[in-house]
Each structure stands twice: as C-alpha cells, then as structure tokens.
C-alpha cells in the first residue's frame, strides 16, 4: 500500500499527461520508477525504503529538469528535442523523414487518421516532440460543411500508393486499373529514368497523381 501511494503521488506530481504525451525525460523517469517500485514487491527481503528512496530522488530530479526546461529554450531543445517539418507546401522533406526515422507508411497512416488523403493539400505537417503529427492544410482545403454552402458533396477519392521509396507495388498498381506500360510512359513524361528514382507516387480513384522524385545526394 505504501509503495502504491508513493507511485500515485509521484505520477501526480509529474503532471497530467497521457502515456503518448510524455517527454523523453518523463518516460525515462516513469520506467525507472516502475522498476524501483517492483524490487521490494518481488523480494520481501529488500527493505521498503530501498524502493521508496530512489523513487523520491528520481521525482526530485524530474521536477528540477522540468523547471530548467520551462525557463531555458536551449535546455528544452537538448532534453526534449525540436519539432520537425515533414511536409512543407505539399512536398515531403526526405531529409527530415530520414532524420526522424519516420517511414512513408507511417506518414500515410497518420494523415488517414486525420482524414487527409492527398499530400498536395498540406501546407505544413509537423512532427512534435511527443511524436504526434500536426497537419495544417491550405485554407482552401480545410473542411467546410457542403450543406452550409448549399452544395452536394462529391465522392471521396482514395489515393493508392504505387511506388514507395523506389519500390514498385505491383498489386497496388493493378488496383488502380493500370499496368507497367502506363507507369513507364508516366515516368518518361516526367523525365524520370526509372522506379528506383521515385520517392513516393500515388494514384487516386479519379486518376489524380501525387509524385515525389528522390532528392539527389549532394
């Protein structure tokens, strides 16, 4: 009971955050606290204070670090990191994607979760320090209720990934109703040598294409 109350107090003092919103330092402290709390529970020969004292010390360290982070932007950048812009003006920043080890599949999934299917409609997509992706669409693309404008809503188009980081997805290409001859002609029209030079390509159900060529290494 004492260990439980100590843990409860420690987590309350760390602030009201969901697990996915914890900063790196908070997550490390939470993991260490759980380990220290488990020792006296697993081994009755371990004195209770051997589990409680490290928790109190870690909690004090976390409070001190939180205070430093609040007062110093430089310290916050070092401890918590900085937000990264993954998409800017409809273009994927491949260097930032690589730096953050964020895959195209993860990006597409995050966008779908927010109801966004077309990357070209995105003004900015920012990967926050807690791992969340915040997306800002162009003003003209932001959701507006068709009923408010007296309009009939058209069917939603769904983009299918055809090329992912230089790899052709044959099954997806067939799902679009197209074949490799069409793809070769499309790449030739865009003056691209081959699939390996394409970073990302999608074709939606209305035939609209999103295309991003691989950046040349400098």
What does the pLDDT look like over 159-199, one tens digit per residue? 999 999 999 999 999 999 999 999 999 999 999 999 999 99
Share of the chain above pLDDT 90, in %: 44
Q: Do 25 and 66 have their domain in common?
A: yes
Task: State pLDDT tens for residues 85-99.
Answer: 999 999 999 999 999
CATH no. for residue 92? 3.30.240.20
Dihedral sign, Cα of residue 70, residue 74, residue 76, residue 82: positive
**If pLDDT is split at 50, 70 and 90, which confidence band does 18 have?**
very low
Residue 100 φ/ψ, nearest 5 degrees: -95, 5
- pTM, two decimals, is 0.60
Residue 171 CB: number of other CB atoms within 10 A?
8
Q: 90 or 52: which carries more pLDDT confidence?
A: 90
Rounded to whole angstroms, the Cα distance separating 13 from 63 reads: 8
Residue 68 has, within 13 A of its CA and on its CB side, a CA count of: 14
* 33 falls within a domain: yes
* 147 falls within a domain: no
**If pLDDT is split at 50, 70 and 90, which confidence band does 62 have?**
confident
Give the highest mean pLDDT range of 30-39, 92-101, 126-135, 156-165. Answer: 92-101
Q: Do 43 and 69 have their domain in common?
A: yes
Q: Do 21 and 60 have their domain in common?
A: yes
**If pLDDT is split at 50, 70 and 90, which confidence band does 75 have?**
confident
* 6 falls within a domain: yes
Which among 200, 204, 203 is positioned nearest to 213, based on CA atoms?
Answer: 200
> Is the per-residue pLDDT at 105 higher than 80?
yes
What residues have CB less than 8 Å from 178, skipping those under 6 apart? 203
- Residue 131: domain span: 84-141
> Is the per-residue pLDDT at 45 higher than 60?
yes
Q: Mean pLDDT across the stretch 15-29?
A: 60
Rounded to whole angstroms, the Cα distance separating 45 from 16 reads: 34
Supply the pLDDT for residue 96: 93
* 64 falls within a domain: yes
Q: Mean pLDDT across the stretch 118-129?
A: 91
How many domains in the chain? 3
Q: Do 74 and 100 have their domain in common?
A: no
Q: Do 128 and 158 have their domain in common?
A: no
Q: Are 179 and 141 in contact (CB under 8 A)?
A: no
* 201 falls within a domain: yes
* 218 falls within a domain: no
């Amino acid at each position: 009971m004492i260990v439980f109350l100590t843990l409860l107090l420690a987590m309350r003092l760390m602030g009201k955050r969901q697990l996915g919103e914890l900063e790196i330092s908070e997550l490390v402290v939470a993991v260490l606290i759980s380990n220290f709390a488990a020792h006296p529970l697993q081994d009755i020969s371990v004195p209770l204070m051997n589990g409680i004292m490290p928790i109190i010390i870690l909690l004090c360290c976390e409070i001190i670090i939180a205070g430093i982070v609040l007062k110093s932007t430089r310290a916050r950048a070092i401890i918590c990191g900085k937000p990264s812009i993954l998409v800017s003006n409809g273009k994927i920043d491949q260097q930032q994607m690589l730096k953050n080890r964020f895959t195209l599949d993860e990006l597409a999934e995050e966008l779908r979760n927010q109801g966004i299917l077309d990357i070209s409609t995105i003004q900015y997509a920012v990967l926050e320090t807690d791992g969340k992706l915040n997306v800002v669409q162009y003003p003209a693309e932001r959701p507006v209720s068709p009923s408010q404008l007296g309009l009939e809503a058209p069917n939603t188009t769904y983009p299918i990934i055809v090329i992912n980081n230089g790899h052709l997805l044959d099954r997806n290409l067939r799902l679009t109703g197209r074949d490799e001859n069409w793809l070769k002609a499309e790449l030739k029209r865009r003056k691209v040598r081959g699939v390996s030079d394409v970073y990302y390509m999608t074709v939606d159900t209305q035939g609209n294409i999103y295309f991003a060529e691989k950046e040349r290494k400098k």
